[in-house]
Amino acid sequence: MITFKQLTYALAVDKTRHFKHAAELCSVSQSALSTAISELENQLDIQIFERDNKKVLTTPMGELVLQKARAIQLEMNELYQLCQNHKSPLSHPMSLGVIPTIGPYLLPKVLPGVRKQYPDFHLTIIEEQSNVLVEKVRSGKIDTAILALPYAIEGLHSFEFWEEDFYVVTHRTDNLADHQQISSEELRDVPLLLLKDGHCLKDHALAACKFPVVEMKQSLSGTSLNTLVQMVAGRMGSTFVPEMALDQLIYDSAEIKAIHLNEPSPHRKIAFVTRLNYASTRNIELLMNLFRQQLMQARNKLTTSAINNL
């Protein structure tokens, strides 16, 4: 009879492309792992791997078997999580993906509260761009991800927990610095500093302004919000910063100022994204409420008058 252990060992070999490394990953001896895979191949009457002293390759039929094994592993994980739901909230480890334009600004605000209420909760954080995280959620490599919407997430559940606007960050010597609000029309002739392609914040900011992406090809770009803000401080142009990042990027700066983008709100929505059959949605809902509470407290501290003095 084929066992789940055999499939797990085969997937480990496929991942590492090395029997010794796969055995270490599974915390078993190399001989035990090799024997289990040989038994699996004998039971299926096929060869899953081609191996020699230098490399391990997957046969075409082996790849089909591994595809089924991945699906079985995902279902087993979901079954385990379903059973965990009967235990205390957030008692089971969770892997969470987050995009670079959210993670550094959201997590410091929300994680201390989570740690205070659930000190034994084990959370693994993975920071990647949206397209990578969506695929990791779909394949079961991570439990959930926090994304900025709208974004293409067909076949997944989304749980929105926050909405926010963008602020235009400009140098205090710029003509825009005297404004209390800025419309997209007032930005048409302004040198804009944008994130590189692949960051959804760029797309959301341009969408809020109704600026076609094709018109922005000549804009200067950066790899992070912090880099863009430093470029603004160097009088290279203006950029967009989401509300949750203002206190870290703009606070107490003598050179730059943040001004609300006066376009229909909200400019972006923040949501957890999970698989349709994800078993621990109760924990997602719990985290949503905790995150929302912490973000509301942060928003209340950052009053309108404080923002206007940034």
* 144 pLDDT above the threshold of 70: yes
Rounded CA-CA distance 39/46 in Å is: 11
pLDDT band at 168 (very low <50, low <70, confident <90, very high): very high
pLDDT band at 214 (very low <50, low <70, confident <90, very high): low
* 82 pLDDT above the threshold of 90: no
Rounded CA-CA distance 194/68 in Å is: 42
CATH of 4-84, one of 1.20.120.10, 3.40.640.10, 1.10.3720.10, 1.10.10.10: 1.10.10.10
pLDDT of the residue at 87: 65
CATH architecture classification, 91-310:
3-Layer(aba) Sandwich (3.40)
pLDDT band at 292 (very low <50, low <70, confident <90, very high): very high
* 222 pLDDT above the threshold of 90: no
Burial of 141 from C-beta contacts in 10 A (0-12 / 13-18 / 19+): middle
Give the residue range(s) of CATH 1.10.10.10 domains in the chain: 4-84
Out of 109-118, 125-134, 172-181, 195-204, which region has the weakest mean confidence (pLDDT)? 195-204
SS3 188: coil
pLDDT of the residue at 305: 45
Give the chain's mean pLDDT: 88
Amino acid at 76: M
- Tens of pLDDT, residues 173-211: 998 888 999 999 999 888 999 988 778 898 999 999 988
- Tens of pLDDT, residues 9-62: 999 999 899 998 999 999 999 999 999 999 999 999 999 998 877 788 899 998
Which has the closest alpha carbon to 269: 154, 162, 134, 166?
Answer: 162
Question: Cβ(196)–Cβ(223) under 8 Å?
Answer: yes
Question: Cβ(261)–Cβ(184) under 8 Å?
Answer: yes
Question: Cβ(13)–Cβ(19) under 8 Å?
Answer: yes
Give the residue range(s) of CATH 3.40.190.290 domains in the chain: 91-310
pLDDT of the residue at 272: 97
Which has the closest alpha carbon to 166: 198, 205, 131, 130?
Answer: 205
- How remote is the C-alpha of 266 from its chain's centroid? 20
pLDDT band at 213 (very low <50, low <70, confident <90, very high): low
